[in-house]
Amino acid sequence: MGRSYTSEYKAYVVKLVLEEGRRVTEVSRDLEIPYGTLNKWVDHERKKRAGLLAEEEVPLTPSEYKKKMAAFEKEMKNIKEENEILKKAMHIFTKNRE
């Protein structure tokens, strides 16, 4: 009886091959996934990207995750700055009313 893998795990592993540029043999060996199995997953994803199959939600690769986190941190910094400006403006306007 073979191992079973979640769809999220399969998508993650396929992204390592297609988007991170890693070789199927390397990923197969490192993650102990049979070469034929991983190759089928990659072929399936290529067909899906070509528009032959329906798209599913897939997890992020480490580099995608880092980029997304950097964007969130930048956005959070901008929001904090805007919040501080609004606090100061509110203080100025309420002070002038007294």
Q: What is the pLDDT of residue 30?
A: 92
- Clarify whether residues 48 and 15 are in a common domain: yes
Q: How far is Cα of residue 73 from the mean position of the Cα atoms in its chain?
A: 15
Both 5 and 45 in one domain: the answer is: yes
Statement: residue 86 has pLDDT above 80: yes
Same domain? 2 vs 45: yes
CATH number for the domain that contains residue 28 = 1.10.10
Percent of the chain with pLDDT over 90: 50
Per the structure block, which two tokens stand in for 45?
């994803």
74 and 94, same domain (yes or no)? yes
Structure tokens, 23: 């070789």
- The number of angstroms, rounded, from the C-alpha of 38 to the middle of its chain's C-alpha atoms is 20
Residue 25, token pair as written in the block: 């043999």
Segment 47-79, tens digit of pLDDT: 887 776 555 555 678 888 899 899 999 999 999
Three-state SS for 31-73 is: HCCCHHHHHHHHHHHHHHHCCCCCCCCCCCCHHHHHHHHHHHH
Which domain does 22 fall in, by range? Answer: 1-59
Same domain, 55 and 8: yes
pLDDT of the residue at 74: 96
